[in-house]
Amino acid sequence: MTVRFASIILGLFFFFSVQSLHAQIHPETGDRLAHTFSIVALDTASGEMAIGVQSHWFSVGTIISWGRSGVGVVATQSFVNPAYGPNGLDLMSQGKSAEEALQLLVKADRGRDYRQVAFLDAGGSVSAYTGSSCISSASHAIGENYSVQANMMLNDDVVPAMSKAFLEHRDLPLAERVLKVLQAAQSAGGDIRGKQSAALIVVGPEVVEEVWSDHKINLRVDDHQDPLGELDRLLRVHRAYDHMNRGDLAVEHQDMEAALREYAAAEKMFPRNLEMKYWKAVALANNGRMDEALPVFEYVFDRDNNWRELTRRLPSSGLLTVTDTELQDILKL
């Protein structure tokens, strides 16, 4: 990193630090307070990195959780300086370890005493910082390939419960493992004010060129009575649509048996989801399996007739490749 670039980074960081501290002095602006609990973690088998968070604050995921594939993840909380997110990821992308990047930014931050921050890089290096003026109960714990941190908690049991949950659920995929950690934190007492929002980000082990491919999972619950319950539901929806996507890919490769297995897995997770059933029926029809497709079309049409009209429009887009006679057999169900 050149001296000039370093000066720009630190200058911008100082600017955001002052703005963030200003928000502390004037809390009525409401745009920098985010007391919470979170985890940053690495799955050594897949190379995936994740950050999960819950708070009694609206849309906590918009300012606390940051991640970049092949680089790392950042949690910046307490009285938040959001510059830790992009600046930390930039430093790690230039070869700084999580510890080096965090130390550099903390040193430049005049509001450091009010911050709580955790960095994890793609190499598994982890670093965390809890400022002396964070509202108790506030602490963090660093373990192999993870860090858990919390402030303004009901009690001192939250952080140990998070560490315990992470170690106990190592058999789960990273996203589900992180969710277990957040649930353990809430069960141990959680935020003293209650709960409102949550977020989960998972990024991959390799740098990606396309920005839209950067996050493998990017889920947010901005305002909910049970944010972790809703986050759990959204994660299951995400997994179900993964099965749908793999089913569609199998259809493209003319592997209908694999496609139907994937579609069945998706339906099992959400048996009343009409869209999942509908596109399975389309795939069956397109592959000459009308006897199997027709009952599925009928089930969908009986519950929402708009799908019948959509079916009428599909052939002109090339998405339904049946004969005119077969199309009429479908539409008259």
Residues 214 and 248 reside in one and the same domain: no
**Any domain includes 232:** no
Number of domains making up the chain: 2
* pLDDT, tens digit, 9 for 90 and up, residues 113-166: 999 999 999 999 999 999 999 999 999 999 999 999 999 999 999 999 999 999
Residues 69 and 207 reside in one and the same domain: yes
| CB-CB contact of 79 with 24 (8 Å) | yes
Residues 39 and 104 reside in one and the same domain: yes
Report the CATH number that the domain containing residue 269 is assigned in CATH. 1.25.40.10
Residues 156 and 255 reside in one and the same domain: no
Tokens at residue 17, please?
Answer: 């630090």
| CB-CB contact of 80 with 181 (8 Å) | no
Residue with tokens 């941190």, as numbered in its chain: 149
pLDDT at 18: 40
Residues 108 and 187 reside in one and the same domain: yes
pLDDT at 32: 56
209 vs 143, which has greater pLDDT?
143
DSSP 173: -
Query: Strand order of the sheet with strand 36-42?
Result: 139-143, 146-150, 36-42, 49-55, 197-203, 215-221
- For residue 206, give every residue at least 6 positions away whose Cβ sits within 8 Å of its Cβ, in sequence order, or none: 47, 69, 70
End of a domain among 225, 256, 289?
225
Pairing of the two strands 215-221 and 65-68? unpaired
How many angstroms separate the CA atoms of 84 and 108, rounded?
11
**Any domain includes 233:** no
Residues 137 and 33 reside in one and the same domain: yes
Residues 217 and 313 reside in one and the same domain: no
pTM, two decimal places: 0.86
End of a domain among 192, 225, 258?
225
Burial environment of residue 35 by CB neighbours within 10 A (0 to 12, 13 to 18, 19 or more) = buried
| CB-CB contact of 105 with 46 (8 Å) | no
How many angstroms separate the CA atoms of 79 and 18, rounded?
12
264 vs 202, which has greater pLDDT?
202
pLDDT at 10 over 80: no
* pLDDT, tens digit, 9 for 90 and up, residues 215-232: 999 999 999 999 999 999
Question: What range defines the domain where residue 104 resides?
Answer: 3-225
pLDDT at 67 over 50: yes
Residues 152 and 275 reside in one and the same domain: no
71: left (phi over 0), alpha (psi -120 to 50) or beta: alpha
Residues 92 and 221 reside in one and the same domain: yes
pLDDT at 256: 83
pLDDT at 26 over 50: no
Residues 246 and 175 reside in one and the same domain: no
Report the CATH number that the domain containing residue 162 is assigned in CATH. 3.60.20.10
Mean pLDDT of the chain: 90
Residue with tokens 């897949």, as numbered in its chain: 46
Residue whose C-alpha is closest to residue 98's, from 70, 115, 118: 118
Residues 193 and 78 reside in one and the same domain: yes
Tokens at residue 64, please?
Answer: 């606390």
Which of 20-29, 41-50, 309-318 has the lowest average pLDDT? Answer: 20-29
Residues 51 and 185 reside in one and the same domain: yes
End of a domain among 172, 201, 225?
225
Residue whose C-alpha is closest to residue 205's, from 197, 194, 196, 216: 216
